[in-house]
Structure 1
Amino acid sequence: MAFELAKLGYNYTALEPHIDARTMEIHHSKHHAAYTNNLNAAVEGTELAGKSIEDILIGVSSHSVAVRNNGGGFYNHNLYWEVIAPGGAPAPEGVLLDAIKDSYETIENFQQVFAKAAVTRFGSGWAWLVLQNNKLVVSSTPNQDNPLMDVAEVQGTPILGIDVWEHAYYLNYQNRRPDYVNAFWNLINWDEVARRFKG
């Protein structure tokens, strides 16, 4: 069964003014669509056809560069569109909040560490909040890599991610990546992050 481009649960204007509609449209309908189509082409006729994206990424070091890049792009964007959304809890609470405090003492400390990981990622990539051995850790990855991959420096299950490729923010923020990262805090649907945390 072929991988399909995720349908957004909201329209392209829903995240304004933090992410503009034109950026959302290009990001979803062009970039994410290309990763999806290229992933399907890369796995067609191989032993990977019919496997879940998670199963593919866990052993990505033994697959082609096309599978690594496009599989990561497919998975990462699926997560991104769900953890940024209008509505939902505006702040972490309950067991998720406890876990963040267990790792970073305060929400403010966590936000600083996460923002630093996003802003200092050289070139294109992602910053993540990762569940690793029942503990939350912040990491970043280059290109379309993610913590599920066996090539990742920090491995685990990503529960929150921010895309810091320029296509995610450049129309609105140009070279001001820190402003985009700061705006990201207004977009997180913590209900979805908590759902991923609880697994």
Structure 2
Amino acid sequence: MNHICSVAACLQLLVCVFALSPVRLFVLAAEDIDDHADASSGEIEAASNPPAWLPAVSVRLLELLDIRLENGSYELPRLMYSYEALEPYMSERTVRVHHTGHHAAYTKKMNSILSRMPSADAVVASNPLQQLMNLDALPEDVRDAFRNQAGGFVNHAFTFFVMGPLDQSVEVADQGPSGKILDLITESFGSTDAMKEQFSGAAAKLFGSGYVWLCLENVAGVRRLTITENANQDSPLSGGFRPVLGIDLWEHAYYLQYQNKRVDYIATWWQLVSWERVGLLLDAWIETEPADSTASSVEEQVGTTPPDDTPETRDEL
């Protein structure tokens, strides 16, 4: 009988120890996370009527960047071209690893953060572009993580979109900017060559990882383009800029092919810029300007033509 009592006492002691042990505390923490995840549905619902104070983002812009909400989570944006289409300037392996590895990872981690935030919040219920424009409105405990992961998601969407294979039926010299984007470049920098020189210089000098962007500004009703840069995965959207062209300067974007020769990568990258798609982004941002905007630097509503070649992984624009 005494032996049985001793065994029972030992078992009771072990239960008490486990209740206060690091293992049990870890289990409790995990349960708390699961309960929190259950409290919000774990799915993200886009707001059909976002509040007026949120910065405007046109449906067209989301379509161009292929930012899609499916079954409560954002999908990895599809490319407008096959993985080998950018060769020889960018290898198939580089594009594949960049897209299915790095971009996919940012997409997954962004969705994980969003699923743990209150879905009733107006900013959370908007879209990643608007969320990055309103970082200060996000919960403080996830703000830095969201800046990194959503920044990576959106930055990659922009930089993949503005690249494309050369049109073999057109001389390389004739595949530069035209129309509205050319007018803005000329008015803002003097010439396309001057803009490229300034842009490439900023890209070569950027310390560490990050991006250099060509962005649209509307200053006192006058549109202009400006060059800006961001470290790591910070987004130009968070600084009030509207990007129309950007280059990814993280080593994973080019190292498999160019190793440490960043300058060579930058020089070659210009061969991949799709100025037609840059123009489409410009038009999409202009759609977000207030109806009474007095922007006067360029003629309004210059028509654009969708790409001739049918994309292999996405519907036509």
TM-score, shorter chain, exceeding 0.5? yes
Q: Paired residue for 2:190?
A: 105
Residue-by-residue CA offset, 1:126-183 (whole Å, 9 max, x unaligned):
000000112100111001112111xx3xx32000000000000011111110100001
CA drift of 1:116 comes to 1.0
Distance in 2 between residues matched to 1:90 and 1:78, nearest whole Å? 22
Between 79-88 and 160-169, the greater mean CA deviation after superposition: 79-88
Q: Paired residue for 2:152?
A: 73
Matched, 1:124 2:217: no
Q: Paired residue for 2:134?
A: 59
TM-score of the superposition, structure 2-length normalised?
A: 0.59
Give 1 or 2 for the bigger CA radius of gyration: 2
CA contact (8 A) 2:124 2:131 kept: no
CA drift of 1:87 comes to 4.5
Percent identity of equivalent pairs: 39
Between 11-20 and 62-71, the greater mean CA deviation after superposition: 62-71
Q: What is the CA RMSD across the aligned residues, in angstroms?
A: 1.4
CA contact (8 A) 1:124 1:164 kept: yes
CA contact (8 A) 2:214 2:227 kept: yes
Distance in 2 between residues matched to 1:94 and 1:158, nearest whole Å? 18
CA contact (8 A) 1:2 1:50 kept: no
Q: Paired residue for 1:13?
A: 84
CA drift of 1:61 comes to 3.7
Between 21-30 and 61-70, the greater mean CA deviation after superposition: 61-70
Q: Paired residue for 1:191?
A: 276
Distance in 2 between residues matched to 1:29 and 1:158, nearest whole Å? 23
5+ residue gaps, structure 2, are 1-71, 168-173, 285-317
Structure with more relative contact order (C-alpha pairs < 8 Å, separation 6 or more): 1
CA contact (8 A) 1:72 1:144 kept: yes
How many pairs were matched up?
A: 195
Query: Could you tell me which amino acid in structure 1 is paired with residue 214 of structure 2?
Result: L
Residue-by-residue CA offset, 1:24-47 (whole Å, 9 max, x unaligned):
111000100000000000111313
Distance in 1 between residues matched to 2:124 and 2:75, nearest whole Å? 13
Q: Which residues of 2 match residues 152-163 of structure 1 at below 5 A?
A: 152=239, 155-163=240-248
CA contact (8 A) 2:203 2:212 kept: yes
Matched, 1:85 2:164: yes
Matched, 1:146 2:228: no
TM-score of the superposition, structure 1-length normalised?
A: 0.93
CA contact (8 A) 1:54 1:148 kept: yes
Runs of 4+ in 1 over 6 A off after TM superposition: none
5+ residue gaps, structure 1, are none
Between 126-135 and 57-66, the greater mean CA deviation after superposition: 57-66
CA drift of 1:23 comes to 0.9
Distance in 2 between residues matched to 1:71 and 1:174, nearest whole Å? 27
Aligned to 1:11, the other structure's residue is in SS state coil
Matched, 1:3 2:88: no
Query: Could you tell me which amino acid in structure 1 is paired with residue 128 of structure 2?
Result: I
CA contact (8 A) 1:90 1:188 kept: no
